Amino acid sequence: MFQSGRLFVGLWFFLAFAVIAQEPVKLSRSGICHTPQSHSYERTKHFTPHASLEACIEAGGRLPKGAGHSQAPQPNAHKGYDRDEWPHWDDSDGDCQNTRAEALILASMLAVAFEDKPGDRADTCRVIAGTWLDPFSGKSISKAEDLDVDHIVPLKWANDRGGAVWPKARKRDFANDYDNLLVVDNSLNRAKGHKAPNEWLPPNQAFHCEYIQRFDAIVQKYQLAYQAHEQHFVQDKLTACAAGLSNVGVSP
């Protein structure tokens, strides 16, 4: 009985110490989430504590600019990619033209044609034809069925580089952000898949610089975290582009 009591007391002290010793993620008054690995962690005196980085971001916090590489969620560190968690092709203005349709309309060099359904409001919903210059191939395409609307920064890549912990509303915003969309040849978009520029670049070499610049702009806009080799590749290519080189080479 005495030994059992000592064991219970010892276990209680161990659990209490573990709870005390676990340092919280600090949500600062400026809305930044600081993990114990953050350089500003000790200097942050006024904060709301959270049990995890995910909980802090769910509460509306964000990662410090430029500090994401040290404390941002690493690939697959939290949960796997589920496309249903990234609602895309929204019709946020209720005009029956979803994000895909509006992207096709905006990108076409001539007025688009819609599916012919006389007397039905849906006859201005589905784009079927237009004139598009595919930046991936440099070719002109006239049938909408031959096109995909590409996420320059793929949803899965974003999920694995910090986006997994975002609330669903932010995932929706990302998936429907026109800054991150390109109307492209569907076969090339499917060849790209979830790859970043270090793994895949468009066959149209004249588009390499713009493609990498736009990719990096979205990464910075949403404070996603490159892996080290990805960042080195992108920075090397951006430097080459800044030096006036339009063909920065194919991906490895």
| pLDDT tens readout for residues 173-204 | 999 999 999 999 999 999 999 999 999 999 99
Q: Which residues, including other chains, have CB under 8 Å from residue 26's CB and lie 6 or more apart?
A: 33, 34, 41, 44, 47, 48, 49, 50, 56
Digit-coded pLDDT (tens) for 61-108: 777 765 544 444 444 444 689 999 999 999 988 889 999 999 999 999
Confidence (pTM): 0.68
Domain that holds residue 40: 1-71
Same domain membership, residue 232 and residue 135:
yes
Q: Decide if 31 is inside a domain.
A: yes
Is residue 167's pLDDT more than 80?
A: yes
Using a pLDDT cut of 90, give the percent of the chain over it: 58
Question: Do residue 60 and residue 110 come from a single domain?
Answer: no
> Which pLDDT does position 179 carry in this prediction?
98
Per-residue pLDDT reduced to its tens digit, 101-149: 999 999 999 999 998 766 555 568 899 999 999 999 999 999 999 999 9
Q: In total, how many domains does the chain have?
A: 2
Residue 4 has pLDDT above 50, yes or no: no
Examine residue 64 and state whether it is found in any structural domain, yes or no: yes
Confidence category of residue 161, pLDDT binned at 50, 70, 90:
very high
Give the per-residue pLDDT at 36.
79
Q: Per the domain annotation, does 104 fall within a domain?
A: yes
Question: Where among 43, 71, 99 does a domain terminate?
Answer: 71
Domain shared by 105 and 170, yes or no: yes
Least confident of 89-103, 207-221, 236-250: 236-250
Do 37 and 122 lie in a common domain? Answer: no
In the chain, the amino acid numbered 216 is D
Which pLDDT band, with edges at 50, 70 and 90, does 225 fall under?
very high
pLDDT-based confidence at 46, cuts 50/70/90? confident
Give the per-residue pLDDT at 145.
97
**Is residue 79 domain-resident?**
no
Residues 66 and 14 in one domain: yes
Residue 148 and residue 221 share a domain: yes
Is 78 inside a domain boundary?
Answer: no
Q: Are residues 200 and 137 in the same domain?
A: yes
pLDDT at 124: 81
Instruction: Examine the domain organization and report whether 16 and 108 are in the same domain.
Output: no
Among residues 26, 50, 71, which one ends one of the domains?
A: 71
Domain check: are 66 and 90 in the same one?
Answer: no
Radius of gyration for the chain, computed over Cα atoms and rounded to the nearest angstrom: 24
Asked if the structure places residue 177 within a domain, the reply is yes
Asked whether residue 60 falls in the same domain as residue 88, the answer is no
Least confident of 35-39, 44-48, 145-149, 239-243: 35-39
Q: Which of 71, 103, 122 is the last residue of a domain?
A: 71
Structure confidence at residue 75 (pLDDT): 44
Same domain? 53 vs 91: no
Identify whether 77 is part of a domain: no
Quick one: pLDDT at residue 7? 43
Can you give the pLDDT at residue 78?
47
Q: Are residues 18 and 133 located together in one domain of the fold?
A: no
Whether residue 76 is contained in a domain is answered as no
Q: What is the pLDDT of residues 50-59, one digit of tens each?
A: 877 777 776 7
